[in-house]
Chains A and B, each alone.
Chain A
Amino acid sequence: MEDMKGIILEYVIEEYADDEDDEITFDTPLISGGIVDSFSMVSLKRFLETKYKISIPDDKATPEAFDTVNKIVVLVKEFL
């Protein structure tokens, strides 16, 4: 679990953080905080599906479910 959290956080920072961004933590609101726009969320979904060999249905891949690293971990575990 901790390992998964770390891996996802690392991907989020690498993929979405700009130099000016504040530190991103497990509870930083990504979508509602404007760090990840809903259109760019698709690369995160693709990363999770490839990395954990799962398929997340579109109706589960909501902005709410992707809003923090902690919530993403819960979502991924649902499909493992």
Chain B
Amino acid sequence: MAYSDKIKELYKNQLNSIQEAGLFKQERYIHSSQAADIEVEFPTGSSIKKVINVCSNNYLGLSSHPDVIKAAHDGLDTRGYGMSSVRFICGTQDIHRELENKVTEFLGTEDTILFPSCMDANAGVFEAILTSEDVMISDRLVHASIIDGMRLCPAQHDTFKHSNMEHLEKKLQLHANKRLKVVINDGVYSMDGDTAKLDKMAELCEKYDALLFVDDSHSSGFIGKTGRGTHEKCDVMGKIDIITTTFGKALGGASGGCVSGRKEIVEMCRQKARPYLFSNTIAPVVVSGVLKVLDILSQSTERRDKLEKNTAFWRKGLTEAGFVLKDGDTPIVPVMLFNAKLAQDVSKDLFDLGIYAIGFFFPVVPQGAARIRTQISAGHEMHHLEKALDAFIQVGKKYKILGKTKQEIIDMYGC
């Protein structure tokens, strides 16, 4: 047997190290549909507990929307379950191209190509369009999938301080002699909830003849007046050369992603992006659901408007209660606790009170920046948010952190 005791021991030791470092990830089984109210089995084997979910990416509450479910059923009935092929052999249906066209219209771009996930879109796009004569200049807090995509690309890479436009400009000057320069950033940063300065970036890219790339996974569907994304919010529609986004968050929450942008760049992805070439695309049932999601969002801004109101209520409530929050106006509202153990203890106490919110700490966020990341949804009703707020205040009082500054919390608990 090739899997010897020695190899087994090696992996067991590695897993023990992860556990000892407090970094072991454990899944919590949900016995219901994704929604504001969920039924969770945690720890594994314990009885099922009804809790309010304030940590999902279900920003628009569409993950279990009846119209989306019906559209998915219809898609299953009319287009079947799977494609058993990659796109360019016999894995493309009419609805795949229909979705690409609808996404193009929704985002206000020139063309779109679907990927199995946004992780795959980010993994494939850079290698498909850049060579060793080019440079990728990324914000230091971009998502891990972008970093993986850049690692797979032969172009040089460089970084700039998070959201620091002076530093970005220096880097654009430093790399002035490159064939192509691409400035790369997230639209909304998933851990801090802040929005990229796309207007300033678009100006700099124009000035230094650089392409502009945005991953709008935490924006598409609800950021901007009609939910088109950060480019709408920053009034630079049409000025972003490459947008990647996901259908696994606000846009139905199932799976799938895309690259949307300049026509030639999208076509280069169709010819060369490896996750597109060597993997089946999104299943017909999911495509049908996302088509319905885009219909719903194109007809009304009701859900993103409700999300905006819910977010304002939540942020105001936590601030008035005396929590330290990260500044911002997106539905990602990080409650800063700074100490990793405190973040884990608060998360556990919240769960006991019926609120599902997860603690994040190093290396997911910088050392000394542990937090509970809360995420608000249009699926939340006022009673959900009031109950969650009461629970946060109760736990905040227990740990005596309400009204305390960052330094005072660090003095009490360390960082």
Contacts and interface: CB of A to CB of B under 8 A. Distances in A.
A34 B159 contact: no
A40 B363 contact: no
A34 B363 contact: yes
Contact of A39 (B147, B161, B362, B367): B147
B367 A43 contact: no
B161 A18 contact: yes
Interface in A7-39: 16, 18, 33-34, 37, 39
A39 B151 CA distance: 9
Contact of A40 (B159, B362, B366, B367): B159
A32 to B, nearest CB: 9
Interface in B365-412: 366-367
Contacts of A46: 158
A42 interface: yes
Given A33-B367, A34-B363, A39 B157 contact: yes
B348 interface: no
B79 interface: no
B162 interface: yes
B362 A42 contact: no
A80 to B, nearest CB: 24
A40 to B, nearest CB: 4
B158 A42 contact: yes
Interface in B333-376: 362-363, 366-367
A39 B156 CA distance: 12
Interface string A35-70: 001011011001000000000000000000000000
Given A18-B162, A39-B147, A34 B366 contact: yes
Contacts, number: 22
Interface string B139-169: 0100000010011000001110110000000
B367 A34 contact: yes
B362 A34 contact: yes
Contacts of A40: 140, 159
B25 to A, nearest CB: 19
Interface size class of A (residues with CB under 8 A): 10 to 19
A43 B140 CA distance: 12
Nearest to B147: A39
Nearest to A29: B367
Contacts of B363: 34
A42 B157 CA distance: 8
Nearest to A40: B159
Contacts of B151: 39
Given A33-B367, A34-B367, A37-B140, A43 B159 contact: yes
Residue with the highest number of chain B CB atoms closer than 10 Å, among A16, A33, A43: A43
A6 B158 CA distance: 23
A37 B139 CA distance: 12
A37 B143 CA distance: 13
A39 B159 contact: yes
Contacts of A39: 147, 150-151, 157, 159
B195 to A, nearest CB: 18
B155 to A, nearest CB: 12
A18 B367 CA distance: 14
A46 B137 CA distance: 14
A45 to B, nearest CB: 11
A43 B367 CA distance: 22
B91 to A, nearest CB: 34
A43 B167 CA distance: 13
B158 A43 contact: yes
Residue with the highest number of chain B CB atoms closer than 10 Å, among A33, A40, A42: A40
Residue with the highest number of chain B CB atoms closer than 10 Å, among A18, A37, A39: A39
Contacts of B157: 39, 42
A19 to B, nearest CB: 10
A79 to B, nearest CB: 20
11 contacts: A16-B161, A34-B362, A34-B367, A39-B151, A39-B157, A39-B159, A40-B140, A42-B157, A42-B158, A43-B158, A43-B159
Interface of A: 16, 18, 33-34, 37, 39-40, 42-43, 46
Given A34-B362, A39-B157, A43-B158, 17 more contacts: A16-B161, A18-B161, A18-B162, A33-B367, A34-B363, A34-B366, A34-B367, A37-B140, A39-B147, A39-B150, A39-B151, A39-B159, A40-B140, A40-B159, A42-B158, A42-B159, A43-B159
A-B interface, 8 closest residue pairs, ranked by CB to CB distance from nearest: A34-B367, A40-B159, A34-B366, A43-B158, A39-B147, A40-B140, A42-B157, A34-B362
